[in-house]
Structure 1
Amino acid sequence: MKNRLLAAAMIMAAGFALNAPARADENICKAPMDQWQPRETLQHKLEGQGWQIRRIKTDEGCYEVYATDANGKKIEAYFDPHSLEPVKVQEG
C-alpha cells in the first residue's frame, strides 16, 4: 500500500513539474514591459472610438479592458500593450 501511495505521489509531482514551464509561458502578449505604452494612451484611443471604459488591468501580458462599445455592447478585450492592437475581443 505504501509503495502505491509513493508511486502515485511521484507521478503527480512529475506531472506538476512538467506543466510548470508551460504555465509560465502562457502569456498572450509577449512585449517586454519597457516597451509598453501607457494605459491612458489605450483609454484615449478607445474613448475616441466611442467606448466607455470601466476598467483596464494587466492580464496574460496584455491590457485587459472591460468596457461598453459605441453600440452599447459590453466588451471584454485584450490589447497588445506595445502596439495597442486588439488580440482577443469578447462581446457579452
Structure 2
Amino acid sequence: MKTLLCLTVAALSLAAADVAFAHGEVSCAAAPRAERKPTSELVQLLKSKGWVVRKLQMFNGCYEVYGFDEKGRPVEAFFDPKTLARVAVQP
C-alpha cells in the first residue's frame, strides 16, 4: 500500500511539473510599473475583439491571459505590458 501511495504522489508531482512548463519560453523586457499600460486596457481591447478574459496575471514580465478567443476556443496568450502586442511563445 505504501508503494502505491508513493507511486501516486510521484506521478502527480510529474504531472504538476508538466503543467508548470506547458507554455514554453516566453518573456518580455522588464518594464517599470509606470511604463506598463493598465490591465483594464488590455481586457477592453480583447473584449472588443470578441474574447472572454477569465484570468490575467504577470508571467516573465508579460501579461498572461487565460480565457476564450473570438471563436470560443480556450486560449492562453501573452502580451507585452508596454505595447499590449501579443508575444509569440517559443517552443
- The answer, yes or no, to whether TM exceeds 0.5 is yes
Which amino acid letter does the alignment assign opposite residue 27 of structure 2?
I
- Structure 1 ranges of 4+ moved more than 6 A: none
2:85 maps to 1:85: yes
TM-score w.r.t. structure 2 length? Answer: 0.65
Task: Report the counterpart of residue 34 of structure 2 in structure 1.
Answer: 34
CA-based RMSD: 1.7
- In structure 2, the gaps of 5 or more residues are 1-24
Greater fraction strand: 1
Larger radius of gyration: 1
5 Å-filtered alignment, 1:60-75, equals 60-75=60-75
Of the two structures, which has the highest relative contact order with CA contacts closer than 8 Å and spacing of 6 or more? Answer: 2
Determine what percentage of the aligned residue pairs are the same residue.
Answer: 41
CA distance 1:52–1:35, shift in 2 (3 Å) = same
Residues paired across the two proteins, number: 64
